[in-house]
Structure 1
Amino acid sequence: MLAGSPGSGKTHLLHALAQHARRNFYIDSIACLSATQWAQEVAAGLHFADIACVLQRFASHDLLALDDTDRLWGMPQAQQAFAELLRERQEQGLRTLLTATLYPASPHNPQPLCELLAQQTAVRLH
């Protein structure tokens, strides 16, 4: 997980790492998408009653890179589906790269990371 404040370069680094991973002999397939794109995939899967296929497709990539995971907090179905996907990928030992914007805790802007993401190995960008 790459975590940092807005404008710290998380998205740029995510794309650079995904591009670099394409040269890795052991990584055959890569999916790189934003939290918004993930939410759209989940919505389509729910609409067409094939959410299991969506999860299976993204669970099979050697590397999954998801940008702005913190944006999933306002989308409970996408958040739940992603938590399930992340657990599946961890069980398979697959690589997952995430970014999240960290905001200072304050009564005006509380945006904590969910427990699942808070337990991931993180690199904080300042």
Structure 2
Amino acid sequence: MKKVVIWVGIIVAMFGGLIWFSQSNTKDAAPSTTFATVTQDVINGAKLYDVRNADEYKAGHFAGATNWSLQDMQASKLPDVAIDTKIYVYCHSGNRSGQATTILKNAGYTNVIDLHGLADVQTIGGKIITE
């Protein structure tokens, strides 16, 4: 009986740890940001990077965005901007933007904001355009 209680305690602790860890990884989200704020920040010198590939970018992206693919970042081709420049990143679903955020922060950039996926940016007011 004592072993059962110990095992149940271990399982509960592990499950609680997983829940805590999964919630702690959402800190880069920008839920209170509006696309109008992003646009104004870009006008004032911030960068908005679409980290999808070139074909995805050409099919439609947000106004003010520059295509800087995750593949380029993974190959150490990083933006030539001051490390304290505000940088917004987004992708299709949020996966690549999360990876890009990690790469940029690990490279020393200090003001990186992950906007996640296209649908998330549309939710805050972004409109997809084609050029």
Tell me which interval the TM-score lies in, with the shorter structure as reference length. 0.3 to 0.5
Q: Which has the larger radius of gyration?
A: 2
User: Normalization by structure 2: what TM-score?
Assistant: 0.38
User: Normalization by structure 1: what TM-score?
Assistant: 0.39
Structure with higher RCO (Cα < 8 A, 6+ apart): 1
